[in-house]
Amino acid sequence: MQPNAIRGQMTLQEKIALCSGGDFYATKAFEQYGIPAITLTDGPHGLRKPAAAADQLGINRSVPATCFPTASLTACSWDRELLREMGGAIGEEALQQGVDVVLGPGVNLKRNPLCGRSFEYFSEDPYLAGELAASWIEGLQGRGVGASLKHFAGNNQENERMSSDSLIDERTLRELYLPAFEKAVKHARPATVMCAYNKLNGVYCSDNAFLLRAILREEWGFEGVIVTDWGALNDRVEAFEAGLDLEMPTSQGCFDEIVLAAIRAGALSEHRLNESVDRLLDLAFTAAANRRANFHADTEGHHRLAQRLAANSAVLLKNEGHLLPIPKDRKIALIGALAKEPRYQGAGSSHINPTKLASAIDGFEALGLDFTHYPGYPLQGPADEALMAEAVAGARNSDVAVIFAGLPEEYESEGFDRTSLTMPDSHNALIARVVEVNPNTVVVLAGGAPVEMPWLPMVRAVLNLYLAGQAGGLAAAELLAGVVNPCGKLAESYPLRYADVPSAGFYETGGKQAQYREGLYVGYRYYDKARKEVLFPFGHGLSYTSFAYSDLVLSHTELDAPHALKVSVMIRNAGGVDGAEIVQVYVGELDPAVGRPERELKEFAKVFLEAGEAQPVSFTLDARAFAIYDPAARDWVVPGGVYRISVGASSRDIRLQAEVRVQGRPARSAAREVPRWYHDLNGPVTQSDFEALLGRKIEPVQAPRKGDYTLACSFQDMQASFIIRQVIKSIEATVGKGLGGVDYSNPTFKLIMASSTGTPLKNLSQLSPGSMSRQLTTGLVHLANGRYLQALITLAKRPKSRTERSP
């Protein structure tokens, strides 16, 4: 039977019920109509199918699956083909596990390196993020498994992620925060898109008609299912209006009666509901048709793919005097607890139970290297003098010291943000001490995001592994020994210090309001135009060979905007080792009437060349590569003028340039006066600069006060209440009981506490309708407000209606 014929037989109540989850990771089946349930599980660098008890934070064990490197590392491959293979492999594991939709990829932009979830995202550049995400989705969906592109949109921090309001001017939204989604939607057609928790310009993403209906559905033509992030639904009626189809996980139908009443009262048209039902039926039947009973995924092969991905993504940041690769006859002091117990993935919903795990020690052994391992520091806690002294002595008696260092688990996770870019003192001090006794020191970095490197001038080589997945240790050894030639390049800038980050002065200082004051000037778009020195620029990465660029040719010197510009260049491997180069094409308008970054990445290619080999590489730049978004025209506009095409090895290592005159038209609104800061990026950007950019005054967000608390508050918001402080203490005690005590340096403890006390109560009761019913949370809010009688009445009465509204 056709989906709309089935829909015709369903009652109104059944149709409403179809649009919310059946349990934590599946929708409801309606056997009477033959409608199967859809299983959706995380994502994105492997499969996390809960083994028994489902949880959202990745705390309970899941079915073993290949843990690939996280997006922060795979992005550094700049390799569409590899990402496609990775998506395909995850698709095969999903088929084997009967999973219909994998919750990924995440394409939120790396706005600020403190974001706790940076490791799950690709880049500070939307073009790179969009290209890689589209390839990953094509790989996954090529196996008949759906993707869930997330988190749409403006979710660039973890603190307050469920309630903060991302204030972004439209041009910035269109040019920076949306294009990765747009590319993935238009080119790879993901089965689903997941809305973010936060508000965007005052409206929760779940009910944001501008974002979901006007842009995603109408402009980009998205026909798939829009699903909430887990527990992200704000208002079910508004959400239907906005085009959101599916609420996940189950909230045990707590919104069904509200929707029914709205339809009966004519406040919501049944047509909107039917649209969602049709999309869900379509997904359910497609998923069922694509299932492959008894499918066997080649997990051994996937382990090797995870190794290849890590080896082809890791970034050689520094290699003074060709210290690397290490010749085979050298005696190596392999230092660092992380060399034995690698940090290879991040914490939270993406946490995978790997099929196997290889450390650097395994990798060194597999290659027969001559090494001795010294832990150097404890995995957790402060420096240990004895461990350090032993490592220093070992380094003194070796030819080369290789130190595995970086960010321990408790530093970064979903659910909270980092507080600084510093590595633990125990790691920094160890590096400084080892360098004193052995100048041939290499640092191998683990961690999901940039760190400050006070020791950089002293060490001769740095290899950045990010979070390299279950086979990362093998890849590290291959790279250090020169079995594989490094070819990754940074997908984000590394600032010298946190204070240099353009949003440093106001990131998360506004409580529940995130002002994106820096506008377009994120990452290299800022550092390059502001002429700020960086530790390592966007696109940087070294190789054991070198590449020469020549013969830049543009197809036109004058161009009419709708026509494409062809760019070709000759790349030659000028060294003695085979290797791959990532060639980057940047476009920048000279003397723009409208403020623009100096150059923006618009194309790239990864070319493998044998030693001495040369190859032409060509690119096509379409009109969009030159365009800006003009909010007044509600369209992309190519401003006429002279554009510089820069081809290079990083955003700061431009090798060839040529110019083209483009016929275009002036932008209307974008040409209006914007404050001086957006032209010269000089000094701090103020709220009033930003208000001028936004075109409106910003209403301050008042911290909720006792008496005014609502279900939109979290326990943390209501800490002024003595009773709520006791509730927090009792949550601490309960969580601590299962985790060996109240210990905020334990990442799991910190994550659970951040999620349970930082989540608004309305979302808590959607996520755990059993233990945190609406009745209980409503009662707690009354208590926090000091309305004891109301609390008593609420808590004493038997729940009879599911339509209770906020107190």
Catalytic residues: 229
Pattern 46-85, ligand BGC, x by CB under 6 A: ----------x-----------------------------
| Site membership for ligand BGC, residue 351 (CB under 6 A) | no
**Least distance to ligand BGC from the beta carbon of 277, Å?**
23
Is the Cβ–Cβ distance between 147 and 190 less than 8 Å? yes
Number of residues lying near ligand BGC (CB under 6 A): 8
- Phi, psi angle pair for 465, to nearest 5°: -95, -10
List the one residue from 170, 182, 229, 410 that touches ligand BGC (CB under 6 A).
229
DSSP strand E in 327-473: where? 331-335, 370-374, 400-406, 441-446, 461-466
Residue type, 698: I
CA angle 350, 353, 355 (to 5 degrees): 130
DSSP strand E in 407-546: where? 441-446, 461-466, 494-495, 513-515, 534-536
List the one residue from 177, 230, 516, 629 that touches ligand BGC (CB under 6 A).
230
Report the 10 Å Cβ neighbour count for 415.
24
Q: Which of 582, 585, 489, 499 is nearest to 534 (CA)?
A: 499
**Least distance to ligand BGC from the beta carbon of 806, Å?**
22
**CB of 43 or CB of 354, closer to ligand BGC:** 43
**Least distance to ligand BGC from the beta carbon of 104, Å?**
7
Q: Which of 205, 190, 191, 192 is nearest to 156 (CA)?
A: 205
**CB of 70 or CB of 312, closer to ligand BGC:** 70
**CB of 56 or CB of 515, closer to ligand BGC:** 56
**CB of 198 or CB of 646, closer to ligand BGC:** 198
| Site membership for ligand BGC, residue 349 (CB under 6 A) | yes
Which residues neighbour 716 within 8 Å (Cβ) at sequence distance 6 or greater? 728, 757, 758
**CB of 49 or CB of 80, closer to ligand BGC:** 49
Strand order in the sheet with 203-204: 203-204, 199-200, 165-167, 513-515
List the one residue from 18, 42, 251, 438 that touches ligand BGC (CB under 6 A).
42
Pattern 740-769, ligand BGC, x by CB under 6 A: ------------------------------
| Site membership for ligand BGC, residue 158 (CB under 6 A) | no
**Least distance to ligand BGC from the beta carbon of 97, Å?**
15
Of 379-398, which residues contact ligand BGC (CB under 6 A)? Answer: none
**Least distance to ligand BGC from the beta carbon of 230, Å?**
4
CA 81 → CA 133, 303, 312, 580, distances in Å? 11, 17, 12, 14
% helix / strand / coil in the chain, to the nearest 5?
A: 35, 20, 45
Which residues neighbour 570 within 8 Å (Cβ) at sequence distance 6 or greater? 549, 550, 551, 614, 615, 616, 617
* Dihedral of alpha carbons 596, 124, 84, 466, sign: positive
DSSP state of 799: P
List the one residue from 150, 174, 351, 418 that touches ligand BGC (CB under 6 A).
150
Helix (H) or strand (E) holding 183, with range, is: helix 179-188
Strand order in the sheet with 547-554: 547-554, 565-573, 614-621
Which residues neighbour 787 within 8 Å (Cβ) at sequence distance 6 or greater? 807
DSSP state of 224: S
Of 664-683, which residues contact ligand BGC (CB under 6 A)? Answer: none
**CB of 158 or CB of 362, closer to ligand BGC:** 158
Report the 10 Å Cβ neighbour count for 796.
9
**Least distance to ligand BGC from the beta carbon of 156, Å?**
13
Pattern 80-109, ligand BGC, x by CB under 6 A: -----------------------x------
**CB of 151 or CB of 525, closer to ligand BGC:** 151
**Least distance to ligand BGC from the beta carbon of 646, Å?**
36
**CB of 56 or CB of 251, closer to ligand BGC:** 56
CA 230 → CA 51, 107, 223, 250, 512, distances in Å? 19, 17, 21, 9, 20
Rounded distance between C-alpha atoms, residue 740 and residue 752, angstroms? 14
**Least distance to ligand BGC from the beta carbon of 514, Å?**
16
**CB of 57 or CB of 305, closer to ligand BGC:** 57
**CB of 346 or CB of 597, closer to ligand BGC:** 346
**Least distance to ligand BGC from the beta carbon of 252, Å?**
17
Of 200-219, which residues contact ligand BGC (CB under 6 A)? Answer: none
Rounded distance between C-alpha atoms, residue 622 and residue 602, angstroms? 9
**Least distance to ligand BGC from the beta carbon of 78, Å?**
24
Residues that bind ligand BGC (CB under 6 A): 42-43, 56, 103, 150, 229-230, 349
